[in-house]
Amino acid sequence: MKPAPFKYLAPASVEETLSMLTQYGYEAKLLAGGQSLIPTMNFRLAQPAVIIDLNRVSELAYMRPGDSGGLCIGAMARQREGEYHPLFAERAPLIRETMPHVAHPQIRNRGTFGGSIAHADPAAELPAVMLALNAGFKIRGREGEREIPARDFFVGMFATAMQPEELLTEILIPPLPPRSGWAFKEVARRHGDYALAGAAAVVSLNEQQRCREARLVFLSVGDGPVEARGAVQALAGEIPGEEVIRAAAETAAAVDIDPGSDIHASAEFRRHLARVLAVQVLHQAYERARRA
């Protein structure tokens, strides 16, 4: 099908974008890579009266080292950069490892970091990885700029803490503490498809090789990315050997998540996948942390 008619605006700067958002509010939709928005417009599930195209806002298309380590990613940085740009391999290897699982090369050539995060699809990889990395998001609006931590940003299915007249401008990835490891795994019917379930983990050790801090986040098992808080508590202060990891994964699958059933997978199968994936990512993250 084809999109319904709309007014097309192509601002050249963030300032211009914000004044258009203020003017049109709920009537307007921001167009980033279009890889989620245009399909919904083609199906006429979305019929915005105004499209504000961000593709000429070049000040949003960048990535650069953060001031205190880590990485800053402009909202309009393309997803393909996560795969090929050396800054990701160097400063956010978890994103680098996850990227090939996000859709297909042709989609990643257009799709943006900001678009995937603002879209907040519960089956999307990047929101889960953002939680695992403890990322923060810079949001610009009429009243100025605010920063929202990833764990307060995703508030439900396709829902975020942003207002319709606000713009996501930057993603802040903090540096990992010393002795940290990370991992991402998912199960999909076909490479690049939305996952039936997926998991991202970051494990940081103290000098005694015990778990100082860990985050385990699932995708496709709830209304948004789901942090396994119970599982992580089970790891705290422990040496994350096989037994400890198994127990944590058990807690994650049995207590921390409440997956639904759909045509792709039953809730029971998703719990099974979550348990298996949790063991794998925690184990790999721990091994990488030990060698770091």
Ligand X SMILES: Cc1cc2nc3c(=O)[nH]c(=O)nc-3n(C[C@H](O)[C@H](O)[C@H](O)COP(=O)(O)OP(=O)(O)OC[C@H]3O[C@@H](n4cnc5c(N)ncnc54)[C@H](O)[C@@H]3O)c2cc1C
23 binds other proteins (CB under 8 A): no
Q: Is 99 exposed, middle or buried (0-12, 13-18, 19+ CB in 10 A)?
A: buried
From the list 160, 158, 245, the residue with the least C-alpha distance to 201 is 245
277 binds ligand X (CB under 6 A): no
Tokens describing residue 135: 């990322």
Among 1, 68, 208, 263, the residue binding other proteins under the rule CB under 8 A is 1
Give the residue with the Cβ less far from other proteins, 8 or 26. 8
Closest distance between ligand X and the C-beta of residue 36, in Å? 4
Return d(Cα 195, Cα 98) in angstroms, integer. Answer: 12
String marking each residue 228-257 x if it binds other proteins according to CB under 8 A: ------------------------------
Are 124 and 102 within 8 A, CB to CB? Answer: yes
Return d(Cα 117, Cα 189) in angstroms, integer. Answer: 23
Q: Which does 28 bind (CB under 5 to 8 A by kind): other proteins, ligand X, none?
A: none
105 binds other proteins (CB under 8 A): yes
Give the residue with the Cβ less far from ligand X, 132 or 248. 132
H or E segment and range at residue 44: none
80 binds ligand X (CB under 6 A): no
Stretch touching other proteins by CB under 8 A, among 37-45, 136-144, 216-224, 253-261: 37-45
Given strand 226-227, what is the order of strands in its sheet?
180-187, 197-205, 211-219, 226-227
Among 16, 46, 66, 110, the residue binding other proteins under the rule CB under 8 A is 110
Return d(Cα 277, Cα 285) in angstroms, integer. Answer: 12
Are 222 and 234 within 8 A, CB to CB? Answer: no
Neighbours of 274 (CB within 10 A): 30
38 binds other proteins (CB under 8 A): yes
Q: Which does 203 bind (CB under 5 to 8 A by kind): ligand X, other proteins, none?
A: none
SS3 sequence, 88-133? HHHHCHHHHHHHHHCCCHHHHHHCEHHHHHHHCCCCCHHHHHHHHC
Return d(Cα 117, Cα 158) in angstroms, integer. Answer: 10
Closest distance between other proteins and the C-beta of residue 93, in Å? 19
220 binds ligand X (CB under 6 A): no
86 binds other proteins (CB under 8 A): no
- Cα of 108 vs its chain's centroid, Å: 14
Touching other proteins, residues 43-72 (CB under 8 A): 43, 51, 53, 55
Binding site for other proteins (CB under 8 A): 1-8, 10, 34-35, 38-39, 41-43, 51, 53, 55, 80, 100, 103-107, 109-110, 190-192
Footprint on this chain of ligand X (rule: CB under 6 A): 29-37, 39, 75, 102-103, 107, 111-112, 114-116, 118-119, 121, 124-126, 167-168, 192-194
